[in-house]
Structure 1
Amino acid sequence: PDSGAPLPVPSGSTLLVRSSGGTTDVVVGGGVTEVAPGEQAPKGTNERHFKITGDGSAHVRAPSGQPLWRFAAMPDRAPAISLAKDPERQARGSLQMSYKIEDDYGVTEARAQFAPRTADAGKEGKNKEADKAEPRPLFEPPQFALVLPNARTRNGVGQTVKDLSEDPYAGADVTLTLTAKDEAGNEGKSEPFNMRLPERLFTKPLARALIEQRRILALDANQNSQVYTALDALMIAPELFTPEAGHYLGLFSVKHQLEAARTDAALRDVVASLWALAVTIEDGNITDVDKALRAAQEALKQALERGATDEEIKKLTDNLRAALDNFLRQLAEQFRNNPQQLARPLDPNTKMLSQQDLKSMLDRLERMSRSGDKDAAKQLLEQLQQMLENLQMAQPGQGGDDMEQALNELGDMIRKQQQLRDKTYKQGQDSRRDRMRGKQGDKQGDQSMGDLQQDQQSLRDRLKKLQEELAKRGMGPGQRGQQGQQGQQGQRGEQGQGQQGQGGDQGDGEDGLDQADSAMGDATGRLGEGNADGAVDSQGRALDALRKG
């Protein structure tokens, strides 16, 4: 008898024929061929294994009465994987990746792989010797498994959050490639994506300098002498630049550790020491509890993936609860020590998350794992991790990019105002000298005064634009104090808000940038009148106010 229409099966499938109490007589044809069994048959049974590589048939003749089975081998294409959107940096420096996965029979494994991306070889200022020496990285670039939407994903979008902020490649230019495999071992790759790995933001200059030298050494051991020179330079004038004895001693220690390093393993220890010293300089105990929280999350995630026992899952969930409590306690302590952090405006899309919400999520996660729904538990853990990644940290300098940009802009304005004042003073001297010699103000002199007026007005416009940007971020005149008080008085009612700005020393309360704006306006007017001496006075007031701002 014939089984009828061919049975569609993936190309590369294995046909297993098992019998008990006797031998089997199997005749195969076409793309069906016998292969050696990969494992021993259960006791008391006989097994024969056949590989289906193309259309074919198999007929079990003994025991008799079995139909002729026909197979249509369907080609097993390689999976497709691509980024659903550009990778994003999370609030605490982790990397979030969203990706699309497709496969005809289902993806069983996906990974993210990074490769270092070197600068163009022909850049100016690069000496020929450096061109010849290939970089000698001390560490392999990061790679890690990606979370699958479900166990055998045929078509779906997955998301993975990975903390790479402590990785030596953090902050480096890299190329990201995603790979996906199906059960047959077919592999698909995404288009390479050039990016800079997110890094932890360090706000203190010495910590930033150490992290930069750490990355240079980690990515090229040949640079060890240059890094040594940089560390030596950082120790100049400790009374000015490293007044804290502990920081200076740490710098001294790591410099001599690098000097004594003779092997790659010793250099890797120096890289670890540079990180530890930078973190100590930047902040305090929050890093330890943050690290413990991440370790507890990772331990639970791995236990869920390997199908650990209920007892182990409970123990690891309790560990995560304790780590989360410590973290939130430390976070609250930092808010108390840095009340100005409460002045930061919240994003209008911010979702408020209470400690009870987090506790409820952990309870649900434990219930899911106990009931055997490990996939759902893994997804919930992933959600929890994303929430914690986006939790607004109380560390000073968070959102430091905006503040640093504003400070750089202000510094440039101070330099420009100083130059403008010098030019105005010189123009006043030239005019006085010409008058003493009996010369009349010529057109060239008038034109020069007009140029100075135009430059002063442009600088004032820049200041106004900066003030608008600061106001948007909640750092405008009066906003810092108001928001800080509102944050601290939130549950005491609005009684104190009506008194804001009343009483007190008005001079102290007025914003330095407002004073600078007013003084620049005076200077512009006096330049328009041809009054260079008066303009110099106003420009001097503008300079003082900018520095105060």
Structure 2
Amino acid sequence: MRHLRLPVAVTRAGMIAEQVVRAFWPLWTVAFLIMAPLMMGWQDDLPLEVFWGAAVVSVLAFLAALIWGARRFRVPSRVEAVERVDAAMPGRPIAAIADTQAIGSGDAASEAVWRAHVARMAERTKSARAVEPDLRVSDRDPYGLRFIALLFFVTALLFGSLWRVGSVGEIVTGGEPTLASGPVWEGWVEPPAYTGKPSIYLNDVPEGPLRVPEGSQVTLRLYGEVGALTVAETVSGRVGEVGAASEAQQSFEITQSGSLSVEGPNGVSWAVTAIADQPPTVEMTGPIEADAGGELSQPFTATDDYGVESGTATITLDLASVDRAHGLVIDPDPMEPLVLDLPMPFTGDRSDFEEFLIENLSEHPLANLPVTMQLAVTDASDQTAQTPSEQLILPGRRFFQPFAKAVIEQRRDLMWSKANAPRINQILRAMSHRPEGLFSNETTYLRLRTIIRRLDNMAEFGMNDEGQAEIVQALWDLAIQLEDGRLADARARLERAQERLAEAMRNGASDEEIAELMQELREATNDYMRMLAEEAEPGEDGTDQRDMAGNSTEMSMDELQALMDRIEELMQEGRMAEAQELMEQLNEMMENMRVTRGEGGDGPQTPGQQSMQDLAETLRDQEDLSDDAFRDLQEQFNPGQQGQPGQPQQPGQQGQQGQQGQQPGQNQPGQQGQNGQQPGQDGRQGQGQGVGRDGQSGQQGDNGRGGEGDERSLADRQRALRDELERQRNGLPSLDGEAGDIARRSLERAEGAMEGAEDALREGDLAEAIDRQAEAMDALRNGMRQLGQALAENQTAEPGQGSEQGEASGRPVPGQRDPLGREMGNTGQLGTDQEMLGREEINRRAEELLGEIRRRSAEQDRPEVERDYLRRLLDQF
């Protein structure tokens, strides 16, 4: 049967391969073990006796493996190949064809069945295929010796050469190694590592000019008869210790331009140009700036051809420019210059960059004194560049409270010289002689008396460095407490803020100081208003206002905020006289103020204001729910990840319980009977005392936001938020204009996104749910912005608003802040143009956050779902 010839032949060849592998695997194992050391050149380094001993052992091992394999090798026959092919097919059809009928011969029916069976078997043989050989010998080599030998051989191929095996013949014949093609050479030039330049293989460089960085290392190797090749060079500048020009290996450094040549057969010559390493440069690009807290910011730029390695800023006391008065009359104690490390870019190119030196040196002895500042940078070759010394007043914290300023002055004098201690003691005693009106509480007075007693003890036993540092720190703490310390009540803090602002008006203050002082005034005003509201008692008319004798003024928080905004604007424009007049008006208003305890101090809310407030709460609840979903996603793939150091705190993780606390007017489970409110009632009956939601909100507790004791699933909470948003959308006031239509469409889109998030949460797809929640929050913010614009356009349509439109006017809501601490308006716009940090701080913080997101997205051990989410965050930047 011709169709069986090919499968049988291929199978037989495979069987022969099986025999070869099983019989001769020790032979090639020994061969690999012999070849590996020969290819590595061990024979050239071993003593002759050791070489001959190893050679005899190797030959004997090779012959033994050859004989062992030859005795076990057997060529398989064709019959064995046929049997293997037949055994691989079901029913062994080849053997069936060769069989003869044993029973039923002569019976026509039986013979017909037999012929049919033989025909079927013959047809089955057409599907015969070659049988794959079994080349495994693991049962014969349980220790894997063949793999060890193969590893040695491959290593020798990588790090050795087959040509080295030829040296065995030279050792056996006793001849000397010779080069068939005459003497040869090879060489390399390795530039300094800091240049980032690659190594140069001189054999591949043609004759002619060669430009390399100064300081590059040259290595040359000469092969062949000694003296056949020599090296001539003028680039190293070596004098004295110069080896023979024919040394087999030479190494030297390029320090100057010159020539380099290999003389002799196949020689070559280059004109080498040494590229000098240019020194770095550094420059102050602007004047030093400081904020109200004393943090300085000095911009600078630095350049270098290969990159700046490090830099310092040296600040030294400019004694000639010091006003030698009072405690500065005597000579100062030895004061070492202050050395600060300049910030370097963490990533990117350091050959040309701009940075800011940012430090707070308010507590340093040089603060607020004339100094000289000098910047210096160093490159990798230790070349240094410096800026000219810049004369300036080292910024420090400014104190506006007179007593605090006096304490800080005594602290400065003590740091100037220990010899000032008796004088400081006398001044502090004079300050504490009549403490009435100077100290806001007993704590600060007792602190001052403690400092005086310590100075008395040191005057008796002497003041050392530790004692000086102790008194200096105590004086600083006292000044801080006097300047920013706890006041008896909110009214005292308000007056204090007004006095500090008036002092700043008289003395002239920077924009940063004005912004900080105005923020302090706003906070003090809010605290004072809150205190009045808490202490107010209901009048006889049943209102929440206390009867006040004499003239009184009723004003809203928006009016106060507008007045303070105007004061800040005038101060920034330098119109201090007008700002002072407004400050006096503000003082009179605060003296005669009557507080209404409605929402935000503005009385009953309009429907538009209530809608804005409800939507703002829904937005916060959606943000909290999205944070919970993201934390669950992290916990699902990284258990315990949220508690690791460096994990950024998600919004809502801290203070969430305080935000979710049930306010008066809201129902909590099990408390319906206390307030007389059943589910389904309005839920706004306590609006004068807090923020109330409707009956549905009361049942759900802050729109289903998860908090302490809320065990509902994320999907249930999302459903509750969607239902609440639907109720709020249906209850929007009737507003004309395009802005109102856009607001309703945006809320409808937010509701649809919430429905998608709910479906994803029920299916367990947290990543998809987070995306849909983000869409819902964007739509909510857009709807709130448009609703605020529509309310502003329809001011007369809102009854009861009067001359001021409250929140609809677009003014920021007092005390309401976005996550960055900026004022947040009722239009849903998170943040304003107000900068809480300097622009450099904002950019640096943004760069840190972006770098953290990039780092996490590149970590391969993080789940793909989380990495995909982080990549989508990066796409937004």
Bucket of the pairwise TM-score, normalised by the shorter protein: 0.3 to 0.5
The two structures have a TM-score, normalised by structure 1, of 0.47
Higher strand share: 1
The two structures have a TM-score, normalised by structure 2, of 0.31
Asked which structure has the greater RCO (Cα within 8 Å, sep 6+), the reply is: 1
Q: Which has the larger radius of gyration?
A: 2
